[in-house]
Amino acid sequence: MGDHVRREILGSSISLLFAACFRHRIALLITILAIALTPVRIISASPREAPFSTEPSQATLPFAATSYAPYNTPPGAEVRVDLEGGNFLVFSQVDVVGNTSAKRLADPDVSDFFPLSGTGVEISTTAYYRGGVRISMAYGGRELPCPEENLRIMQLKEGSWEDITVWMDSGSKLLTAETQSLGFFAVGWVSEEEGTCFYFPEGYEGERVHDFLVVESLSRSPAALTVRYLLPGKPTITRNYTVPPGCKLSINLDGREEEGASLRMVSSQPLQAQRHIYFGYVDLVQTDSYPLAESAGLAILSPLRSKDTLGIMFHQASTRDIHNQPVRTSVMIPFGRCISDANPWGRYPGWTPQLKGNPGYWIEQPRGRGTYSTSAVDVGGKAGCSVYSPVDGVVESIEYYSLYGTFPDVRVSIIPDGYPELRVVLTHIDGLKIKPGDHVWAGTTYLAVIRPLHLYFRSDIGRDYTGEEGDHVHLQVNLANGG
């Protein structure tokens, strides 16, 4: 102990001695004399308590890791802290001892870069430090989905990931970065090559639409592919794939959890991407022949399967039959939704078309026949498609005739079960498999095929509505005493 220190302590003790004697406190006097004569050992203050200088002194204890247990971040310059997985960091200057730790995170779901799986980490410390921090992260021991030189250390800053890499040691498989703050880090890569990022609007489109994303590798290396479903107001859904060199991959986008999502696809290697959309017509009833209309209480099914139907057009029926004799029709009330009505003046009184439901249909413009706008219907399909009975009943007659006095055609008349006053008539068919007297069942009994009328002319349904050749089955309901 220095002499000047002993003198200060001795002087203080003498002052207290006189005060004690004055107050006649002999016990206090003896205590003070004992303190003055006891050797004093001075220990330097801990770094956290030092208000002015934290420079190490020869009078302090020599630095050793055990001196700061359980802390792993001692005070000093260029302080290295080893973390799990071969990662470590170096603080430029630590002023107050603390503890530095790393918490493993799930791979970040980001669009700024492509994270290397298993490298996400949150680094924090309780030590007081100043200056920069060098962070080294290991990437060895795994198959890389990109060229090694493309790897980067990324840090999350203000909501976006930033490349902070300054050095790569390919021999030690270490990346080094510099930062002024700790937080969230990950090893990943950023590719600026063309053909590595694609956007597609809306994934899942519903049960009647089937979506597939087809990608083809344009690289000699495997492509790590990430497809992200960007859901409005919901967490992003991520799917990961690997595309072998020179190969194609088809991805089904029909998952219900992705409904209403748009897609962002990113790849570690250049790809060619295409989105294929297929329309699947779901059967509306088990027989696959859907309800078409109702007439005088009689339910009428479509003569074509739903998958074969190209369009439905109601129109005015002729007032003359194939023999040019007067005919009276029973108006049909369509099922489903009206897509467009070009003849609202010809509607059956009291009936209003519906704007929802299946199937969809059109009502054609007036033909000047004086009949209701839904007294006949053309169900469009390809020539050769199978035609089925629209009702349960008995085949009354089959007649071959010339359409418009020129083109060969066939007319079939069916008496519906329970409706002897009605006749369901079909024309524009060929290759009949029935004969008069046969009993037929709605949606089940095969009658014939669609006749290729497009060889002679293009009918209204094709020209004005479907855009197809115009082949179709014509159907109407006549009254038995009127033709």
Q: What is the mean pLDDT of residues 224-249?
A: 78
366 prior amide bond cis, ω within 30: no
Q: What is the mean pLDDT of residues 259-270?
A: 74
**pLDDT score of 76 more than 90:** yes
pLDDT-based confidence at 157, cuts 50/70/90?
confident
pLDDT score of 269: 80
CB 364, CB 313: distance < 8 Å = yes
Q: Please, what's the largest Cα pairwise distance for the chain?
A: 149
Q: What is the mean pLDDT of residues 43-67?
A: 35
pLDDT score of 371: 95
pLDDT score of 52: 31
Higher pLDDT, 421 or 356: 421
**pLDDT score of 100 more than 90:** yes
pLDDT score of 232: 65
pLDDT score of 455: 92
> Cα(88)–Cα(290) distance, rounded to whole angstroms?
70
**pLDDT score of 42 more than 50:** no
Q: What is the mean pLDDT of residues 205-217?
A: 71
Other beta carbons within 10 angstroms of residue 306's beta carbon come to 17
pLDDT score of 111: 59
**pLDDT score of 467 more than 60:** yes
Lowest-pLDDT choice from 45-49, 182-186, 311-315: 45-49
Helix (H, G, I), strand (E, B) or coil at 85: helix
Percent of the chain with pLDDT over 90: 48
Percent of the chain with pLDDT over 70: 75
359 prior amide bond cis, ω within 30: yes
pLDDT-based confidence at 221, cuts 50/70/90?
confident
> Cα(25)–Cα(73) distance, rounded to whole angstroms?
51
CB 99, CB 70: distance < 8 Å = yes
Q: What is the pLDDT of residues 336-367, one digit of tens each?
A: 999 999 999 999 999 999 988 889 999 999 99
**pLDDT score of 233 more than 90:** no
> Cα(188)–Cα(145) distance, rounded to whole angstroms?
10
Q: What is the mean pLDDT of residues 306-332?
A: 93
pLDDT score of 214: 83
Arithmetic mean of pLDDT over the chain: 80
Q: What is the mean pLDDT of residues 97-126?
A: 84
pLDDT score of 261: 65
Q: What share of the chain is helix, strand, coil (3-state, %, to 5)?
A: 15, 40, 45
pTM here? 0.45
**pLDDT score of 8 more than 60:** no
pLDDT-based confidence at 3, cuts 50/70/90?
low
Q: 97-118 burial, b if ≥16 CB within 10 A, otherwise e?
A: bbebebeeeebbebeebbbbee
> Cα(446)–Cα(429) distance, rounded to whole angstroms?
12
> Cα(291)–Cα(160) distance, rounded to whole angstroms?
56
pLDDT-based confidence at 384, cuts 50/70/90?
very high
pLDDT-based confidence at 47, cuts 50/70/90?
very low
pLDDT-based confidence at 306, cuts 50/70/90?
confident
**pLDDT score of 27 more than 60:** no
Other beta carbons within 10 angstroms of residue 165's beta carbon come to 17
3-state SS of 246-302 is CCEEEEECCCHHHECCEEEEEECCCEEEEEEEEECCCCCCCCCCCEEEEECCEEEEC
Q: What is the mean pLDDT of residues 323-328?
A: 91
Strand ranges of the sheet holding 298-301, from the earlier edge strand across to the other edge: 298-301, 291-295, 333-334
**pLDDT score of 12 more than 60:** no
Q: What is the mean pLDDT of residues 277-285?
A: 53
pLDDT-based confidence at 246, cuts 50/70/90?
confident
